Structure 1
Amino acid sequence: MSSEVYSYLYEQILLQGALDMYTESIYMKKNRPAYKVTVLCNEDDLDKITKLLLVETSTFGVRYHKLERTMLNRKFEKITTQYGDIQIKLGYLNDKLIKVTPEYEDCKIIANKEKIPLIKVFEEINYLIGEKFFKNC
């Protein structure tokens, strides 16, 4: 399958409700190079994602299995920065805040608008997060 298809496939899979998708370079039978496509999705989305893989790729079959998933409890808030409000995701384990992460899309918009490196945006926002949520830890 042409490599150009993968970029399109990523977009389509995520639009169909997939939680994530990734590819791995592998070798198949007779030592033929190939890409393994892995899609993480909710069980309710399995049929439509399987159909999409069959229609949009060169595969003749899709293997799947059920996985268990443990997640942090999540909350979303806004934090005020010099660039404006940014959405952040807060992760809780047993009601204790253990992670705070800025939303990538908000940071990307700022980096493009301000014409500054994305990593600089993350560094500045992560500093504010540290001051607001973890200063006394």
Structure 2
Amino acid sequence: MWKFRAKKKSDQWLIETNIDDMSAEMYGYVEEKLFEAGALDVFKTPIVMKKGRPAVKLSILAKSDEIDLVETIIFKETTAIGTRKYPVVKHKLDRVYETVETDLGPVTVKFAYHKGTLVNWKLEYEMCRKIAVQTGMPLKEVYQILETEIINRKGLK
């Protein structure tokens, strides 16, 4: 029989609830409240419950000392009548943020490494958005120009 053994005790928990009787407009407000309370992540998954009822699974990633507050928000701000909790073991890539000078101005790039090898990189949205607003260029064009420039300057693929 397979058994999972975590290397260390998890300080993060996934708290979930299924909701099938709440207006979709309310989820944005609930999400804001959860983030204000310290939630690390909040996401919604469409699901189908018994009798074919469409519903939403509300999932919140939080530190162990925030579970009570998260559950209080869930019960006060939603129509949920119960939650499930699971300890979470995460594996995060090493990340390096670097400001790169480009023809459109400085941009922050997040580089992600697995065992010392670059496996992913991404332009930071807020800086790209700022350039789009300042120049009047479409955001997707800003991304295309900057990605090409970063690839050429850094020798990336």
Same-fold call, TM cutoff 0.5: yes
**In the alignment, what sits opposite 1:80?**
101
Structure 1 gaps of 5+ residues are none
Give the number of the structure with larger relative contact order, counting CA–CA contacts within 8 Å between residues 6 or more apart.
2
Provide TM-score, normalisation by structure 2. Answer: 0.73
**In the alignment, what sits opposite 2:82?**
61
The structure richer in helix per residue is 1
Instruction: Give the Cα separation in 2 of the matches to 1:11 and 1:112.
Output: 25
* 1:110-125 matches, cutoff 5 A: 110-125=131-146
Shift in CA distance, 45/127, structure 1 to aligned 2, threshold 3 Å: farther
Q: Within the alignment, does 1:108 sit opposite 2:129 as a pair? A: yes
Structure 1 residue 71: Cα displacement: 1.2
**In the alignment, what sits opposite 1:70?**
91
How many residue pairs get matched? 136
Structure 2 gaps of 5+ residues are 1-21
**In the alignment, what sits opposite 2:47?**
26
Q: Deviations 1:74-99 (Å, cap 9, x if unpaired)?
A: 11111122332222111111122222
Moved more, 12-21 or 29-38: 12-21
Local SS of the residue matching 1:24:
strand
Instruction: Give the Cα separation in 2 of the matches to 1:56 and 1:128.
Output: 46
Local SS of the residue matching 1:99:
strand
Runs of 4+ in 1 over 4 A off after TM superposition: none
Q: Deviations 1:9-66 (Å, cap 9, x if unpaired)?
A: 2333233333322212222233222111122333343332222222221111221212
Instruction: Give the Cα separation in 1 of the matches to 2:107 and 2:92.
Output: 23
Instruction: Give the Cα separation in 2 of the matches to 1:49 and 1:86.
Output: 35
Instruction: Give the Cα separation in 1 of the matches to 2:98 and 2:66.
Output: 28
Moved more, 49-58 or 36-45: 36-45
Provide TM-score, normalisation by structure 1. Answer: 0.82
Moved more, 43-52 or 74-83: 43-52
Shift in CA distance, 15/4, structure 1 to aligned 2, threshold 3 Å: same
Letter in structure 2 aligned against 1:99: N
Mark the structure with the bigger radius of gyration: 2
